[in-house]
Amino acid sequence: MVSFVERGTTGDGGRSIGTVRFASMMKAWVSIPGWRVVGALGIGVLVLAGAAFVAVQYATASSLGGVMPAEGSVVDTSEVVVSVNLPGFEPGAAEVEMLVDAEPVPAEALEQVAGGVRAQVRLRDGAHWVRVTVVSGNIFSRRMVSQWEFTVDTTPPSVTLREHGPTVYFVASAARLDLVFREPVEATLEFDGTEVALEGEGSERSAGFEVGPGKHQIRVTAVDRAGHTTVKNWTAWADFTAPKVTEVTWPEATWDEPAAGLVVEVEDDQPEGIDFAMLIDGAPADFTRLPVPENESARRFVVDTAELSEGEHTIEYQVTDRGGRTQGRAETILVDSTETFGAREMGLGARGRDVTELQKVLTRKGLLTGDPSGTFDEPTAAALVGYKSGKGLDSTPTLDRETLVSLLGAIRIDISERRLYLYDGDEVVKTYPVAVGVSRYPTPKGDFHIISKVYHPSWTPPPSPWAAGLKPVPAGPGNPLGTRWMGLSVPHVGIHGTYASGSIGSAASHGCIRMYIRDVEQLFEMVYVGTPVQIVP
């Protein structure tokens, strides 16, 4: 703390200086000839007046006293009362200025009382300084200045363990912990209830000790200079053996089914502590954690991949033991479960006749050039994304149901109305009368798609009681299928023409949808293999 007083002091030295000066002045007057008699009387008066003046000045002089908060102290509140004691000070008897961090305290906030001045200020955490200046007309305390520093700390100390998260893992019996604090503190470390000696000082400490396998508890207590206390607890696991992974069920790199059940078994000396994660195309996959049989060291994880689109997918899993050791595998697989266009969603890497049909459609629409390759490659993906962007669909290179309907259109058959509607997006572009199945052989209801298109089909009797004993009929007049056949993704049911035009508009078929010859030939040219078909009651 820095304090000083100008023109006088607070001790006897201040009095003696004033007295000596006054006495010297009186002696000079007495030594003048002719004035000795009159001077004696005047001197007496002056001596008395001077003495009275000095006495008053001395009696009303103030001095510097203690300050608050104390020099170098730490306070634990942001609302700080700053004051300096001024023995002998009276409010209004002097000009007072208080600076806090170089900013003047407003006069209305500065409280002057007998014997001192004070103010309440709001301060942020950190170091601060105060300077109080008192200026008066008193010869013994003309100008007094007091300056000091202190620290505000309202925040409890932070405690972290370097290189560790919420759970601490040890992979060797020789353990070490490095503690980091926000500020200098007094700290203690307990491991499983026993205090461990800490090395270092200030805001960083460390400790080394031996641990055994299994679960442990860590407790750190830190107290800062303001008296704030922070206590933090960690759970620690010591695991010295790496896990061993066995893929119990794992299909080949090419899957002929859209979904698979994957089973991964993990052996470890602490199997209940194994963490498992699987990603399919970067997204977390659901899995079932089977319980650990008693006295066994293995744990199994079962993953149902759910249905995957045709094409390439990435499958990645990772197992982590309590020691933080990891094992895993990442693989690219190909799902090739169908050749029927429209039967499943498809994306990059898909191959087969379904891809060929998609490429034909994109070529007809002027979005793709060249002969179909049967592989969903980058040019195919770019053409599909270009189409989807133009239609306001998402920009992923995936042929999903929404894109399929937009790309191919859709058919809706209303059994009760006996009508077929052809859609381009949400717009009906054509409507035709049809015949549907009789009550004994009804037309199936649900969502289907066209799986085949045949010019001038021949007819083969289906495996149904009503067709027993019937013979195949070649293409031509009198064929039950007329001149066109569009098979649906339900056995032995399709959209076809009929020479029995009088049946149109009624329930007359064995489940198929009949159309006038001219209508079916027109529709045949407007739809594709894969076109969605919805049949409603």
Q: What angle do helix axes 378-390 and 353-364 make, rounded to 10 degrees?
A: 50
* Tokens 């499958």 found at: 315
CA–CA separation, 244 vs 238, rounded Å?
A: 17
**Sign of torsion, CA 83 84 87 88?**
negative
Which residues are CB-neighbours of 172 under 8 A, at least 6 positions away? 240
CA–CA separation, 448 vs 412, rounded Å?
A: 10
3-state SS assignment for residue 367 = coil
Q: In angstroms, how far is CA 64 from the centroid of its own chain?
A: 57
CA–CA separation, 260 vs 308, rounded Å?
A: 9
- Catalytic residue check, 128: no
Please, what is the end-to-end C-alpha distance for the chain in angstroms?
A: 95
Asked if residues 340 and 321 have their Cβ atoms less than 8 Å apart, the reply is: no
How many residues belong to the chain?
537
Secondary structure E strands in 182-325: 186-191, 194-196, 204-210, 214-223, 229-238, 244-249, 254-255, 261-267, 275-280, 283-284, 287-289, 298-304, 311-320
* Tokens 């000790």 found at: 209
- Catalytic residue check, 313: no
Radius of gyration for the alpha carbons in the chain, expressed in angstroms and rounded: 49
CA–CA separation, 148 vs 66, rounded Å?
A: 11
Q: What angle do helix axes 401-408 and 378-390 make, rounded to 10 degrees?
A: 80
**Number of other residues whose CB lies within 10 A of the CB of residue 366:** 8
Q: What angle do helix axes 36-60 and 12-30 make, rounded to 10 degrees?
A: 170
Which residues are CB-neighbours of 24 under 8 A, at least 6 positions away? none
- Return the closest-CA partner of residue 215 out of 160, 164, 272, 159: 272
Percent helix / strand / coil, the chain, rounded to 5:
20, 40, 40
Q: Exposure pattern of 277-307 as b/e (b: 16+ CB <10 Å)?
A: ebebeeeebebeeeebeeeeebbbbebebee
510: Cα within 13 Å, side-chain hemisphere: 11
Among 128, 313, 449, 496, which one carries the catalytic annotation?
496
Asked if residues 471 and 479 have their Cβ atoms less than 8 Å apart, the reply is: no
* Tokens 């899957």 found at: 255
- Return the closest-CA partner of residue 72 out of 2, 154, 119, 145: 2
The residues annotated as belonging to the active site are 496, 512
